[in-house]
Amino acid sequence: MRAIFGWSINFDMKFSYNWLQSYFNEKLPASEKLAELFTFRFSEVESVEQIGTDTIFDLKVLPDRACYALSHRGVAREIAAFCRMGMVDVPFKAVTPRGSFGVDIKEPSMCARYIAASLAGVTVSDSPAWLVERLASVGQRSINMIVDIANYVMFDIGQPLHAFDADKVRGVLSVRKAREGERIVTLDGKEVVFKGSELVIADEEGPLAIAGIKGGKRAEVTKTTTKLLLESASFDASAIRRISTSIGIRTDASKRFENKVPRYLAEEGMARFIEYIVRESRGAEVTVASYVDAHGELDHGRRITISGEFISRSLGVAISPKDIEGFLGVLSIVFSKNGDVYELDIPPWRLDMTIPEDVVEEIGRLYGYENVEPKLPPRVSAPSVLKALYWHEKARDFLVSSGFSEVVTYSFRKEGVMEVVKSMASDKSFLRDDLTKNISEALSMNLAHAPLLDISQIRIFEVGKVFPKGGERTSLCIGIAQSKGFKGESVNEQIRQLRDRLVGYLGAPIATVCTIDDTGGVILLSGKPIGTINAVDGVMEIDLDTVTGVLPEPKQWDITVRKVEALYSPISLYPFIVRDVAVYVNPEDHFDGVRAIINRLEGEKKLMHVVRKPERPFDEFLNSKIGKKSLAFRLVFQSHERTLTDAEVNGEMEHLYAALKEHPGWQVR
């Protein structure tokens, strides 16, 4: 079941143990230990799988940490922090701008940075074994060396990258909005027709790629490509999310952009992209013909001021300066200190850290929430009682003590007044505007099950919101149904009596102001209609908000709380079969004798499918003419596995008849 407090929009990513190990000289903790550390220091672990000599962790990266942790290096930094291990991070070689290639960012609000580099002398070969293996470990198929390196760098450091065949690009590259009706065929052969608000990378001929989401077929890198145009860019998170949703394409790149990729990373991404291509193009003379870095404002360094006292007070546990400083150190947070106050320099990849509370979380999780001792808040006096709630509960108590059971039904239905914009199903487009309909349906459904429930009448109620024109109110609906042959008062009469008792129970003010017009089936309060009675036979519904409005303020919370410990017994989905039996017994005999026989036959497996054993006879009378007492009772048969046949039930009944007849003086009628 999904988190209910809010929405954890987590991002699953596969992480390779061996790949993470490459960031450390020291041996990582064993995979089981590492999984446990992930769970309690970092993120939920969806699965841990041993594949060959590697272990693959499927982690649900939290959305706030996705800006840095959807990459092996990001998670390696986490491990470095919570294992206090030194990390090996080989620095990249920055590329100096050169050449005259033009990039025109027409939408700077959606694209803060675009680095383009063109490479000449390239041979597009298959990937080396190490690269194929690395990608395979995280579930990625090898395509060709260039595409594989782009993917590898993305899974390694988190920067999405793209490569075009430079010979297929015409003129200046621009980052612009798509024009309405423009089309692109994506790398996987899907045609997208643009609405006009999407962001594309285009040349003079038209779109080459859907920015940050998917490349196009036209400038695809193939085996014959010799010149590359590489892209490493920073696209706006909201824009990418909106466009990706609107065109229905989500990719590893778009997922990362949606979660903010730090702008500083584009430079490193490009440098490593080029570095790997040069290194792996063994023998070939690859040259960087041009390199352009078009950008507006880049990331600001962020500083947070926080006191040790604030950290300890927020967590409710005293954290020593030594511990705080240790945790800051392993998080690569550089700080200066003035008394108890720390001035923190937040590393550029931690876009999620903006306020002191974020620092509290970092210290808290590294300290370990399991080490935070629970404390109860100070005692205070009993809280005030909510009037409406109190009277709702009082009404429930009254109804339960009057033999009514509570149901909770669906708020959605086919017709109504208030409609939802997008419904689950065509018969659930509206919100209910009364409860009467739901109660009527529940009455007939339950009446059909009456023998199973061992009751002769269905009495139910619901308290819930209904949605009439313009708003909502709390409604109370009460219903009674009984089978046609029921000996007793009509359901309408019983409802009328119940109404009077309910009014009496709730208290004086209602009794004096409530008048009822039975002929019209309307309940009135001070002349104003507040409900209906027997408009549907045996059903009344009242506006509970109005009724509770005129009731007095409750003095204290004196609602019964019964601890219910019962465990659910399964309900069979198969039909049940009812058999009524009447037996003449001696006048002094009790029904217990019949029950004993039924129990014995069950023990002997001669009665196998009785789901409802009679507690008492439903009819009992003395036939003075023959000097015998008649007991009539009901058995209900049902299976949890299948539909029982009449023949099966008849067979079981024959055992019962035989056993009853064996009893001295008894005869089956």
Partner 1 sequence: MSHKAETDNNVGHLHPITSTVREIITIFGDLGFQVAEGPEIETEFYNFDALNVPADHPARDMQDTFWIKPAESKRCLRTHTTSVDVGRFLEAHKDALPARVIAPGKVFRNEATDATHEAQFFQIDGAYVDRDVSLAQLKGTLEYFFKKLLGNEITLRFRPSYFPFVEPGVEVDILFRGAWLEVMGAGMIHPNVFKAVGVDTSVWRGFAFGGGIDRLVMIKHGIPDVRFLYAGDLRLVNQF
Query: Restricting to residues 187-226, which ones interact with partner 1 according to CB under 8 A?
Result: none
The H or E element that residue 442 is part of is: helix 436-448
Q: Which of 90, 561, 641, 642 binds partner 1 (CB under 8 A)?
A: 561
Residue 569 binds to partner 1 (criterion: CB under 8 A): yes
Largest CA distance in the chain: 120
Q: Which of 27, 282, 562, 605 binds partner 1 (CB under 8 A)?
A: 562
Q: Which of 283, 376, 484, 662 binds partner 1 (CB under 8 A)?
A: 376
Give the binding range for partner 1 (CB under 8 A) out of 117-125, 221-229, 338-346, 376-384: 376-384
Per-residue x/- marks for partner 1, 610-629, CB under 8 A? -----xx-xxxxxxx-----
For residues 545 and 476, is the Cβ–Cβ distance under 8 A?
Answer: no
Q: Measured from the CB atom, is 174 or 492 closer to partner 1?
A: 492
Backbone angles phi, psi at 576, to 5 degrees: -110, 160
How many chain residues interact with partner 1 (CB under 8 A)? 125
The first and second tokens of residue 183, run together, are 């089309």
Which amino acid, residue 177?
K
Q: Which of 90, 129, 564, 647 binds partner 1 (CB under 8 A)?
A: 564
| Cβ within 8 Å of residue 603, ≥6 positions away | none
Q: Measured from the CB atom, is 118 or 438 closer to partner 1?
A: 438
Backbone angles phi, psi at 98, to 5 degrees: -160, 170
Give the binding range for partner 1 (CB under 8 A) out of 118-126, 392-400, 521-529, 578-586: 392-400
| Backbone dihedral region for residue 99 (phi beyond 0: left; psi -120 to 50: alpha; all else: beta) | left
Residue 48 binds to partner 1 (criterion: CB under 8 A): no
For residue 644, what is the DSSP state? P
Backbone angles phi, psi at 417, to 5 degrees: -110, -50
3-state secondary structure of 89: coil
Bridge-based pairing state of the strands 44-51 and 111-120: unpaired
3-state secondary structure of 277: helix
Tokens 């470990």 — which residue?
A: 137
Q: Measured from the CB atom, is 383 or 603 closer to partner 1?
A: 383
* Nearest C-alpha neighbor of 44 from the set 30, 55, 59, 54: 59
Minimum distance from CB of 427 to partner 1 (Å)? 13
Q: Measured from the CB atom, is 125 or 411 closer to partner 1?
A: 411
How many CB atoms sit inside 10 A of residue 87's CB? 16
3-state secondary structure of 9: coil
Residue 559 binds to partner 1 (criterion: CB under 8 A): yes
Query: Restricting to residues 453-492, which ones interact with partner 1 according to CB under 8 A?
Result: 453-460, 462, 464-465, 467, 471-472, 486-488
Residue 388 binds to partner 1 (criterion: CB under 8 A): yes
CA distance 91 to 268: 9
Minimum distance from CB of 124 to partner 1 (Å)? 37
Q: Measured from the CB atom, is 318 or 508 closer to partner 1?
A: 318
Query: Restricting to residues 8-27, which ones interact with partner 1 according to CB under 8 A?
Result: 8-9
Give the binding range for partner 1 (CB under 8 A) out of 26-34, 85-93, 128-136, 565-573: 565-573
Residue 63 binds to partner 1 (criterion: CB under 8 A): yes
Residues forming a β-bridge with 302: 346
Tokens 């209609």 — which residue?
A: 529
Minimum distance from CB of 636 to partner 1 (Å)? 12
* Nearest C-alpha neighbor of 602 from the set 571, 594, 641: 594
Tokens 């923190």 — which residue?
A: 344
CA distance 207 to 200: 6
The first and second tokens of residue 64, run together, are 């706030």
For residues 524 and 517, is the Cβ–Cβ distance under 8 A?
Answer: yes
Q: Which of 146, 157, 178, 399 binds partner 1 (CB under 8 A)?
A: 399
End-to-end, the C-alpha distance of the chain in Å comes to 55
Residue 573 binds to partner 1 (criterion: CB under 8 A): no
Minimum distance from CB of 369 to partner 1 (Å)? 4
Query: Restricting to residues 235-254, which ones interact with partner 1 according to CB under 8 A?
Result: 238, 241-242, 245
Q: What angle do CA 609, 615, 616 make, to 5 degrees?
A: 125
Minimum distance from CB of 230 to partner 1 (Å)? 29
Residue 372 binds to partner 1 (criterion: CB under 8 A): yes
Query: Restricting to residues 410-439, which ones interact with partner 1 according to CB under 8 A?
Result: 410-412, 418-424, 428, 431, 438-439
Query: Restricting to residues 66-125, which ones interact with partner 1 according to CB under 8 A?
Result: none
Minimum distance from CB of 374 to partner 1 (Å)? 4
Q: Which of 33, 40, 88, 526 binds partner 1 (CB under 8 A)?
A: 40
3-state secondary structure of 91: coil
Q: Measured from the CB atom, is 45 or 298 closer to partner 1?
A: 45
CA distance 649 to 453: 19
Residue 287 binds to partner 1 (criterion: CB under 8 A): no
Please state, in angstroms and as integers, the Cα–Cα distance from residue 563 to each residue in 238, 407, 462, 567, following that order.
49, 19, 21, 12
Q: Which of 369, 500, 515, 604 binds partner 1 (CB under 8 A)?
A: 369
Give the binding range for partner 1 (CB under 8 A) out of 108-116, 134-142, 557-565, 641-649: 557-565
Residue 409 binds to partner 1 (criterion: CB under 8 A): yes
Minimum distance from CB of 407 to partner 1 (Å)? 4
